[in-house]
Structures are given as structure tokens and as C-alpha cells.
């Protein structure tokens, strides 16, 4: 199903931004694919001005603009992907440690309820994939927010988050990964509930290390298929 549909609303640029993000991260556009501004504007039902503003916000995140060539969806080299996950492990490991010290009882209950909801989602229960549909459904975003550290949140959410959404859909569909990730999330929550910062950071780092291994495997499979 296409995510590029006519926009109805006042903030055309913001709406265009969200729709293009969803289209790219859902796989509607391939990595490296050229994006036609005229075609996108037509499908969104807006002029090219708001669309260019939206694409400008995405430069360095999900698209790259080359003079006289145009706009393309970003591509990842093996080193790019590994660096992305290593950076994430360092930042989210610290976020888990901080969250352990700062998270409220209500936030902990919400996290547990979120994981219960995830466990009941058909694609996760079947082991097909584990990719949140929105930020509010994102386990990691909830912990980043609970850490109450603006700088870590900005570093993760302003760039890394968007790029990870592409990779998480691929890596979470690796055989066995969805169910393993859910169990790893549950261990992180258990550490938070125990108010054990060392274990919270360790559990998060272990989870993200496993996610990196899965993502690298998915990347290598894609490269082998393409060659």
C-alpha cells in the first residue's frame, strides 16, 4: 500500500515530510532510488515548494541531493551500517542507565503494557517481523524519553532514528530475530524495574549488539542477491 497520498491539512511541508519518511522507511522507495520532485508533488497534491522544504529537512537523514542530478534515497555501505549501530549502542546503553535512575512507576507500567501489546501483534507473535508503526509504539523511544537527557535524545532522534527505521524493518525479519528481540526487551524492562543501572545498560547493549549482527547479516544477504 502506498504511503504517498494527497495531503489534506494546513502544514503542507510537515505533512509531506511525514509521508515521505514513511514511504522511504517502509520500503516503498529503494535505497539509492532517484526521487522525482514533480511526481512526488503530484501524488501528494501539493506544489513543489513545500515538498522541497520537506526534502531539505531530510537531507543527511534519508535523502541526498546531488547538483544537476537530483534527490536520491540514501544508501548504506557496510561500514556506514556498522557505525550506525555502534553509535546507537553507545548512546542507548547510556540512555537505559539514565532511565533506570529516572523512569517513573507510571512509565514502567506503560513500558510493560507496550510489550504486552507487541507480544499480541500477529507479525511479532509469528516471528515475521518486529518494527514499530509509530514513535508512540517504539520501545526504544520510550526509554530514550525516560532518560530525560536532551542531548542524547537529539543525537538519536534527529538523524539516527530515521536511518534505523529502514534497517530495522529488514533486520527484524531475519529468522528468529523478532521473538528474540521481544525477549531482550523484556529483560531490559526487568532491569529497569529492579532499578539496576549496570544491568539495564548491559541488557540494552546486548540487545543492540544482537540487532547489529542481524542487520549486518541482512545487508550481506541483500548484497549477495544483488551481485
Provide mean pLDDT across the span 93-122: 95
Domains, the chain, with CATH or none: 12-73 (1.10.10.10), 78-226 (1.20.120.530)
CB contact at 8 A, 3 and 19? yes
C-alpha to C-alpha distance for 205 and 67, rounded to whole angstroms: 40
pLDDT at 1: 60
pLDDT of residue 134: 65
* Vertex 87: Cα angle to 225 and 196 (nearest 5): 120
pLDDT of residue 3: 67
Residue among 59, 19, 22, 57 nearest 40 (CA): 19
Say if residue 136's pLDDT is above 60: no
- Percent residues over pLDDT 70 in the chain: 92
Most distant pair of Cα atoms in the chain: their distance = 56
3-state secondary structure (DSSP) of residue 66:
strand
Place of cell 535523502: 63
pLDDT in tens, 16-74: 999 999 899 888 998 899 999 999 999 999 999 999 999 999 998 999 999 989 999 99
Give the range among 22-26, 52-56, 128-132, 209-213 with minimum mean pLDDT: 128-132
Q: Spell out where the chain has E strands.
A: 34-35, 63-66, 70-73
Region 92-96 average pLDDT: 98
HEC string of 114-170? HHHHHHHCHHHHCCCCCCCCCHHHCHHHHHHHHHCCHHHHHHHHHHHHHHHHHHHHH
Distance of alpha carbon 102 from alpha carbon 223, whole angstroms: 42
- Note the pLDDT of residue 220: 87
Q: What per-residue confidence (pLDDT) applies to 57?
A: 93
Give the CA count within 13 Å in the CB-facing half-sphere of 3: 16
Q: Express each pLDDT in 167-177 by its tens digit.
A: 776 676 677 88
Q: What global pTM score does this model have? A: 0.83
Please answer whether residues 92 and 204 qualify as being in contact, where contact means their C-beta atoms are separated by less than 8 angstroms.
Answer: yes
Instruction: Check if the beta carbon of residue 132 is closer than 8 Å to that of residue 138.
Output: yes
Q: What is the rounded average pLDDT of the residues 219-227?
A: 79
Task: Provide the pLDDT for residue 105.
Answer: 96
132 versus 219: which is more confidently predicted?
Answer: 219
Query: Under a CB-based contact definition with an 8 Å cutoff, are residues 101 and 194 in contact?
Result: no
Q: How many CB atoms lie within 10 A of CB 99?
A: 28
Please say if the pLDDT value at position 140 is more than 90: yes
Confidence at residue 88, expressed as pLDDT on a 0 to 100 scale: 94
Which residues are CB-contacts of 123 (< 8 A; sequence separation ≥ 6)? 129, 130, 178
Amino acid at each position: 500500500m502506498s504511503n504517498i497520498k494527497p495531503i489534506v491539512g494546513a502544514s503542507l511541508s510537515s505533512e509531506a515530510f511525514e509521508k515521505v519518511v514513511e514511504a522511504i522507511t517502509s520500503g516503498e522507495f529503494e535505497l539509492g532510488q532517484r526521487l522525482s520532485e514533480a511526481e512526488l508533488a503530484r501524488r501528494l497534491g501539493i506544489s513543489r515548494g513545500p515538498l522541497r522544504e520537506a526534502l531539505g529537512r531530510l537531507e543527511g537523514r534519508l535523502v541526498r541531493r546531488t547538483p544537476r542530478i537530483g534527490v536520491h534515497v540514501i544508501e548504506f555501505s557496510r561500514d556506514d551500517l556498522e557505525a550506525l549501530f555502534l553509535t546507537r549502542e553507545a548512546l542507548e546503553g547510556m540512555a537505559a542507565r539514565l532511565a533506570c535512575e529516572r523512569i517513573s512507576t507510571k512509565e514502567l507500567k506503560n513500558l510493560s503494557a507496550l510489550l504486552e501489546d507487541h507480544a499480541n501483534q500477529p507479525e511479532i507473535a509469528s516471528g515475521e517481523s518486529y518494527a514499530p508503526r509509530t514513535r508512540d509504539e517504539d520501545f526504544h523511544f520510550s526509554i530514550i524519553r525516560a532518560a530525560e537527557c536532551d542531548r542524547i535524545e537529539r543525537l538519536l532522534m534527529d538523524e539516527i532514528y530515521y536511518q534505523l527505521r529502514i534497517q530495522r524493518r529488514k533486520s527484524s525479519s531475519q529468522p528468529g530475530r523478532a521473538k528474540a528481540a521481544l525477549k531482550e526487551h523484556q529483560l531490559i524492562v526487568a532491569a529497569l524495574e529492579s532499578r539496576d543501572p549496570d544491568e539495564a545498560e548491559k541488557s540494552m547493549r546486548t540487545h543492540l549488539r544482537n540487532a547489529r549482527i542481524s542487520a549486518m547479516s541482512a545487508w550481506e544477504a541483500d548484497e549477495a542477491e544483488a551481485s
